[in-house]
A and B are shown apart, each in its own frame.
Chain A
Amino acid sequence: MRAFLAATFCFAAAPAFAGIDEVIESHVLPGTEAFAEATTALASAATDDCTAQNLRDPYHTAFDSWLGISHLRLGPIEEEGRGLAISFWPDTRGLVGRTAAGLVADEDPVVESPEAFAEVSIAGRGLLALERLLFEDDLAGYSADSYSCALAQAIAGDLARMAGEIDREWQDSFAASLRSAGAGGNSFFLSEREAAQALYTALVTGLDFVADQRLGRPMGTFEAPKPLVAEARRSGRSLRNVGMSLEALRELAQTLADHPIPETEAAFAAALERAEQLDDPVFAGVASPSGRLRVEALRTLVSEIASAAAKEIAPELGVSVGFNSADGD
C-alpha cells in the first residue's frame, strides 16, 4: 500500500484525484466481491443444512465482509435502501425482535417466494433478523423441517441477492460514474471534486457511525448506560464490528489520499490497538463506571481519526463534508 501511494504521488501531474481510481480498484470492488461471495456461501450453506449450528460460521464470515463496505453509503448500497435492509441497526423501537418473532409465530408464507420476501419489513430481513434465529436461545433450537429453517434460508437468499446487485451495479455503472466525474454526460457528479467529496463524506460519516452509534449508543449516559442496545450483541460481535469497520475505513482513507497521511495512520493505529485491548466483546462493561470509561476512551480515539483526516485529507482534495443520510436525529 505504502509503495503504491508513493508511486501515485510521483504522477502528480495526472488527474487531480487519482485517489478515486485507487478507492474503486483497491477498496470498493474487492469489498463488494467478497461480500457477494460470502453471502452466496451463507445461502448455499442454508440450502444444505439450515440449522443454527451449521450457519453460525458462514454468518460471521458474511457479517465480516459486510463491514468492509458498509460505510459506502453512496450509489448501490444507498439505492433501494439496501444498506438498511442488510443491517437494520440501530433499532430504537425493538422492531427486529418483534418482527422476527412475529414471522415465526405466524408462519408467514412470504418466505416461499424470494420476490415477496424482498418486500418484507427490513426489521424481518438482513443480518440482524438472522442473528435472532441463529443466536437467540428461544429461537435458535429449530429443526430442519421447521418454519424457522425456511425463514433462515429466505433471509440468507435475500442477502445474497442484494449483495450480488451491489457488486454488479458497482462494476457495471457506479464505478464508471465516479471515474467520469465532471465529463460531459455525467449528470450525477458534475466535477471530480464532487466525486472526491462523496467518498470523503463516506469516510467521515463512517467514523461518526462507529463513534456515535456503535460505541455511543451502548454507552448511553453516565447515569443510564445501555449495554443491551450494543450492535449484534447476541452473536457477540459488537466490538468485532468496531474493529473491522475501522480497518475498512483505514483502507478507504489510505486509498483516497494521494499523499502520505501519517497523522491519520497514527490515529487509526491508536484506535485499533485500543479496540484490540478492550476485552469487552459486547460492551457489557459500560454498566460499570470504569468499564464505561474504557469504551469512552476508545470513542475519543475514533473521534481523533476524523480530526486528523480533516487536516490531512480534506485540504489535499479541496473538499468538505457533504450532507449525508445520518444528518437526521
Chain B
Amino acid sequence: MGLRTTTAVALLALSATPLFAQSKSDVLGTYANIAQAGYEDSFITAQRLKDAVEALISTPSPEALQAAKTAWLAARVPYQQTEVYRFGNPIVDDWEGKVNAWPLDEGLIDYVDASYGGETDENQLAVLNVIANPTFTLGGEEVDAAQITPALLEGQLHEAGAVESNVAIGYHAIEFLLWGQDLNGTAYGAGDRPWTDYATGDTCSNGNCDRRGEYLKAATDLLASDLEWMAGQWAEGGAAREAVLADENTGIHAILTGMGSLSYGEQAGERMKLGVMLNDPEEEHDCFSDNTHNSHYYDGLGVRNVYLGEYMRVDGSVVSGPSLSDLVAKADAGVDAELRDRLDVTMVELGQIKTAAETGFSYDMMLERGNAEGEALIMSAVDALVGQTRVIERAVTALGVDTIAFEGSDSLDDPNAVFQ
C-alpha cells in the first residue's frame, strides 16, 4: 500500500524519465532475476522438505522428525529473502497468503493445550481441530473431511469463515505440525511435539496420527507446488517479470515500494514492535520453531539484496547485475551512500538479535515483560528499519518516481483500490 501516488509532481517525473531509460530496464532485469532465483531456491528447498516429510510418515522416528525440522529451517532461508517482492508486486501479494500466512489459530488444525482458550470474537473456528474431526460444520454446511487433501485445505479450510487467522496451509501450518505449540511462554524453548504424533498403531500419541500425517503431506505438497508456480511467474515471459518490465518507472517504483513497506509497516511494526509491546511469544513470526531471529534477519537481507542487485543462492552461486543503488547514485550520490549505510546498520542490528538467539537468549525470552535487554535489542533493529525507510523515501524522491505510478495505477483507475 505504500507510496500511493497522486497527480502531484507529474512533470518532474516526465523530465526524469529519458535520462536513465536504458539503465532502468537493466536494473529491472536484475530485480526479476533475483526474484526468479529466490523462488526457485524456495521451491528446491521445499522439495527437500517434502522428501523429509514423506520419510517421516513412512518410517516415523525421532531422527526422521528432526530431519524434517532441519529441512523446514533451511527452506525458510531463501523464502524470507523473497518477502521484499510482496509489496509492490500484486501477483506476489495476492498469492502470498497461501504460503506464509501468519499469525494463525492453530487449534483449527490439531489438538492444542487448554491454555490456548476457545472461540473468540474474531474466530468461531479457533478450536475446530480438523485432524480429529472427519466431518464438521462450516458456515452452516456439513464438510466431509474424511480424506485430508490439498483441495480440502486450500479450498475449504484456509481462511474459513473469512477469518485471516484460519491458516490451514503454508510454512507456518507445516511448522506447527512439526514442532507443535511452544508452551514455554517467554522462557527458553520451542514447541516439543513428540515424534510419536506420526507413529502407527499403539505408539501413536494424541490420536489420529494417520490423519496428521495426511495433513502434513497435503500441506507440504501444496507449498512446493505454490512455490514452483511463483518461480514460473518470474521466469522469462512469466507474468510477474512482464509486469515489472512493462513500464520502467512503475517497475522502479515497485522495487522501492516493496523495500519501504516491508521495512516499516510490516517488519518494524507488525512483526517486531507489536511483539515487544504485547510481550506475547505467539507474536514471534516463527513462533513454534523459535526461528524468528532468522525470519527477521533474512527479511532484512532481502531488502538489501534488491537494492544492491545481488543474491547468493542456496548452492552458493551469486545472481547479480546493474542495481537500483547504481541508479540512485547517479541521481543523488549522497542519498545512495546513506541508504547503503542504513541497510548495513540494519543488518548489524538484526545480526545481533540472531547472534543472541543462537547463543541461548531466544527471541521469545526477549519479549518477556520488563526484559530490558531484549527490548533494547529488538527496538534497535526497529529503529534501524524505520530509519532506512526514511532514506528509501528520499531515494524515491531523488529518482522522481513518486508520481509515475498513477499512469495506469490502481489508485487512479479505481479510487477504491487505494483502500484494499
Contacts and interface: CB of A to CB of B under 8 A. Distances in A.
Interface of A: 81, 84-85, 91-95, 97-98, 116, 119-123, 190, 193-194, 197, 204, 208, 211-212, 216, 220-221, 223-224, 226, 228-229, 299-300, 303-304, 306-307, 310-311, 314-315, 317-329
Contacts of B9: 315, 318, 320
B403 interface: yes
A321 B282 CA distance: 32
B260 A327 contact: yes
Given A93-B165, A323-B260, A328 B419 contact: no
A98 B7 contact: no
Contact of A321 (B6, B117, B162, B263): B6
B280 interface: yes
A325 B269 contact: yes
A303 B122 contact: no
B265 A84 contact: no
A318 B369 CA distance: 44
B54 interface: no
Contacts of A314: 6-8
A84 B276 CA distance: 11
B171 to A, nearest CB: 15
A315 B5 contact: no
B249 to A, nearest CB: 13
13 contacts: A92-B164, A190-B394, A194-B393, A221-B162, A299-B419, A303-B418, A310-B411, A311-B6, A314-B6, A320-B6, A323-B392, A325-B265, A325-B269
Contact of A94 (B5, B6, B122): B122
B369 A84 contact: no
Contacts of A329: 266, 270
B416 A300 contact: yes
A299 B415 CA distance: 12
Interface in B102-135: 103, 105, 117, 120-123
B348 interface: no
B239 interface: no
Contacts, number: 150
Interface in B399-420: 402-403, 411, 415-416, 418-420
Nearest to B403: A320
Contact of B416 (A303, A315, A320): A303
Nearest to A197: B393
Interface in B236-263: 260-261, 263
B1 interface: yes
B4 interface: yes
Given A95-B278, A323-B393, A326-B265, A318 B8 contact: yes
A233 to B, nearest CB: 9
A81 B273 contact: yes
Given A310-B7, A314-B8, A320-B4, A328 B278 contact: no
Given A97-B120, A208-B418, A327-B1, 16 more contacts: A84-B277, A93-B105, A121-B278, A122-B277, A224-B139, A306-B415, A306-B419, A314-B8, A315-B7, A315-B9, A320-B9, A320-B402, A321-B3, A322-B3, A323-B393, A324-B265
Q: Which of A94, A120, A216, A226 has the most CB of B within 10 A?
A: A94
Contacts of A322: 2-3, 393
A228 B9 CA distance: 43
A300 B417 CA distance: 11
B338 to A, nearest CB: 10
B420 to A, nearest CB: 8
B121 A212 contact: no
A323 B389 contact: yes
Given A122-B278, A190-B394, A320-B5, A304 B415 contact: yes
B418 A226 contact: no
A122 B265 CA distance: 18
Contacts of A229: 121-122
Contacts of B415: 303-304, 306-307
A304 B419 CA distance: 10
Contacts of A84: 273-274, 277
A223 B160 CA distance: 11
B279 interface: yes
Given A300-B416, A311-B7, A323 B2 contact: yes
A93 B120 contact: yes
Q: Which of A81, A197, A326, A328 has the most CB of B within 10 A?
A: A328
Interface string B1-28: 1111111110000000000000000000
B127 to A, nearest CB: 12
A328 B8 CA distance: 25
A95 B280 contact: yes
A197 B402 CA distance: 12
A179 B94 CA distance: 41
Contacts of B264: 323-325, 327
A320 B274 contact: no
Nearest to B164: A92
B261 A119 contact: no
Nearest to B96: A329
A220 B418 CA distance: 17
B161 interface: yes
Contact of A328 (B105, B123, B269): B269
A212 B418 CA distance: 10
A224 B266 contact: no
B119 to A, nearest CB: 9
